[in-house]
Structure 1
Amino acid sequence: MAASSGNPEVKLLGVRLSPFVIRAGIALNLKEVQYEFLEEKFGAKSELLLKSNPVYKKMPVLIHDGKSICESMIIVQYIDDVWAGSGTTLMPTDPYDKAMHRFWTAYFDDKFFNSLFSLIYIMSQTEEAKAEAKEQMRAVLQLLEEAFVKISKGKPFFGGDTIKYLDIALGSFLGWMRATEEIIDLKLLDDARIPLLCTWAENFCNNEAVQNASPETDKIVEFVKFLWSEYIPGLPPAK
């Protein structure tokens, strides 16, 4: 979307399939901010990216009025602060609730990211290693199920009645979870194990702001299979 007239220019730099880029896109949509998406080529770093994020040289980067903001959840917080009077408030106002959203986001980024991608990498290892990787992922999801009970307070989202900071952090990975399920034939969003998280995932994905920022699962599957064949030696052929 092009930046609207009368507003400072807003651009989002990244690869559409990246869950971290998806976070920023969802936040912008929820805040009803018009922006221009600048697509990066996977495996390459454009001059604009290197200039905009010279420290980490990673995506996403939000460019607002000529200034660069980096790191996905810092971008989400920035969007919420700058466009405070527009759309949905993304961060809880209660200090304790705010702390819990930040705590579980940090836990998720620390544990879930590595667990998810290790499921693919581990497919060339022993059956014992595969079983251990699957159990680690299930343990992470079970903890998130228990956290949802406490944080949501019986409402549809971690943020209560609306999607907020922690919902965005977790929900940006749902497409990658479904792609992983398809590729390695493992049920992650299991109604029998984590029914509340499964219902939350359905509610999250039905949101229009989420849908407009999220790629189709089959495109993620295709991309993961490409990574599988190109960058993970020793794995069996992708199905």
Structure 2
Amino acid sequence: MLHALISISALLLSVFGQPTNGDIPILDCVNASANIDKVLDASNEQMKRDNRNTARVGDLVEDVTTSILGLTISTPVTATEGTLSSLDTLERAGNETDCADKNFKEIEGRLKFDQLVLTFKSTKAKFWFMEGEGQLIVTVKNPVFNYFIANGTMGCRLWSFSSANPGDFEYSVIPSGLESRLVGYVLRLNLGHEIIESVVTSLTDAVRSSVEAYFTK
């Protein structure tokens, strides 16, 4: 579906070794934003048809620091059965430039979501002598990702994918009982808008897999 390529000099170094003078071709570059939008629309629609707009994510195991009356208390949190949704809402985050010659194409840019929702169906947290259970929902607004996609002698491939901006985090807890309600309140209060790096990693891995499966076809 999409034909693109990583930086030609880096590609030649990795595939053919150190180039000699005159070996590096001059690429013609054009604004590819409109074409990228078409590809994203098509890949998002295909994802919906395939019912693959959600993805499983790894477990979350964190110690959340709680401060009560000047006392700092560590609150262990274990969240499992995580699912990331709204993967079929991928958008372009800026102008894209497509550079190519007769053998290679390369594109480098950024992709974004307005919002992703990460739901952990089984969450346990301890606060003092109490233990709460329920669901933890992490809403991530405006995450942005860097990508490099290449198409050449080695075929079409996603060479690099990383988080450019983790976005804004919001947390909510659906408790399973009265005690869980209190623990959930304390957990949500102390999480605030904290960005948990393990969540960013899980989210980035899930989005990368989705991009590889649909956007680079």
Higher share in helix: 1
Q: Which has the higher strand share?
A: 2
Measured against the shorter chain, the TM-score band is under 0.3
The structure number with the bigger radius of gyration is 2
TM-score after normalising by structure 1:
0.23
